């Protein structure tokens, strides 16, 4: 896990601040899951293999839409991790880094891709039903003090949110999304939930440099390899690390580069560092 964290930091140092933080949640009511379990008269929690398989396929489709179809812009890099919720459903956190031409620098640009307001039930009935079913929080606060989010009489997730006439970016660079009082609401157990209860809806490879002491480098081999012949090779004590040190010893340009800059210019091939063309 520590190594994965360092990989993520390396990506951030190369491409800058992230542009999107997205979450992807497995929905046990996806048709593919329901088709698989309905005949067995079981719930999604009873079939983690089916749930995990379908979640992986849907996540791969989402990442393809983001990377290949560029639905949010040209993606320079991405990072995601998957965890499992209490009922065993996969949940993904996704970070996207966009190129300069694809960024969303103004509040108007942000409003074009992120909304925390309820859609019109007549003009967008399907989207309205999705928001009603999946994107409404609570009610909590004075309406319901028994929810787990309530701590010391207040919602620990800061719901209901404050009304906001326009989207703004605060001094620390975080957006505060528009939440107008447009008269739209959803009835939840005789409690009217409006925009202040809406939840917002929204890769380069890392070349690791493994350090080691002299003659302590790792050697990778297959089960059928001749170990004696492998260990007798003249290059057995060479590695990417030793080749990198050698490049720094003979090249002034290499000395002036950090490792992250170094691997954008040089490539490691057959125990040698070659300048990329």
Q: What does the pLDDT look like over 235-248, one tens digit per residue?
A: 777 777 787 788 88
- Of 20-34, 57-71, 89-103, 257-271, where does mean pLDDT reach its minimum? 257-271
User: Which is more confidently placed, 191 or 19?
Assistant: 19
Residues 149 and 246 in one domain: no
Reported as a pLDDT band with limits 50, 70 and 90, residue 65 is very high
**Domains: count for the chain:** 3
Flag whether pLDDT at 178 surpasses 70. Answer: yes
Quote the pTM value: 0.65
205 inside domain: no
Neighbours of 96 (CB within 10 A): 23
Report pLDDT for 201: 45
pLDDT given for residue 64 in this prediction: 93
pLDDT in tens, 79-104: 888 888 766 788 898 999 999 889 88
Judge if 31 and 9 occupy the same domain: yes
Last residue of a domain, one of 103, 131, 158: 103
Q: Is the per-residue pLDDT at 33 higher than 80?
A: yes
Domain that holds residue 233: 227-275
In this predicted structure, the answer to whether residue 175 has a pLDDT above a threshold of 70 is yes
The three-class DSSP label of residue 77 is strand
Residues 4 and 93 in one domain: yes
Query: CB under 8 Å to 27, separation ≥6 — which residues?
Result: 33, 134
In a domain, 120, yes or no: yes
Nearest to 59 by CA among 21, 18, 91: 91
Distance CA 166, CA 178 (A): 5
User: Same structural domain for residues 82 and 6?
Assistant: yes
Look at residue 217 and tell me if it is in a domain: no
Residue-averaged pLDDT of the chain: 80
Structural domain contains residue 214:
no
Are residues 83 and 109 located together in one domain of the fold?
Answer: no
Is 50 among the domain residues?
yes
Q: Alpha carbon of 8 to those of 94, 157, 159, 204: distances in Å?
A: 12, 27, 31, 10
């Amino acid at each position: 896990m520590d190594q994965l964290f360092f990989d993520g930091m390396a990506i951030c140092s190369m491409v800058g601040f992230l542009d999107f933080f997205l979450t992807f949640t497995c929905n046990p009511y996806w048709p593919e899951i329901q088709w698989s379990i309905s005949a067995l008269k079981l719930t999604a929690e009873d079939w983690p293999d089916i749930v995990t398989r379908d979640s992986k396929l849907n996540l791969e489709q989402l990442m393809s839409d983001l990377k290949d179809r560029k639905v949010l812009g040209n993606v320079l890099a991405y990072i995601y991790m998957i965890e499992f919720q209490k009922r065993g459903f996969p949940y993904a956190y996704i970070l996207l880094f966009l190129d300069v031409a694809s960024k969303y620098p103004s509040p108007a640009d942000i409003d074009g891709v992120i909304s925390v307001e309820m859609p019109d039930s007549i003009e967008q009935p399907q989207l309205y039903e999705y928001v009603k079913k999946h994107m409404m929080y609570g009610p909590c606060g004075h309406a319901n003090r028994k929810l787990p989010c309530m701590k010391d009489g207040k919602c620990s997730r800061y719901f209901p949110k404050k009304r906001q006439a326009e989207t703004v970016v605060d001094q620390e660079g975080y957006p505060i999304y528009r939440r107008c009082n447009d008269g739209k609401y959803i009835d939840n157990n005789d409690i009217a939930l409006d925009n202040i209860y809406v939840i917002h809806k929204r890769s380069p490879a890392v070349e690791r440099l493994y350090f080691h002491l002299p003659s302590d480098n790792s050697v990778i081999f297959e089960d059928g390899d001749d170990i004696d012949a492998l260990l007798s090779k003249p290059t057995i004590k060479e590695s990417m690390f030793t080749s990198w040190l050698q490049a720094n010893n003979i090249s002034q340009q290499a000395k002036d580069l950090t490792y992250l800059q170094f691997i954008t210019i040089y490539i490691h091939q057959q125990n040698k560092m070659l300048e990329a063309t």
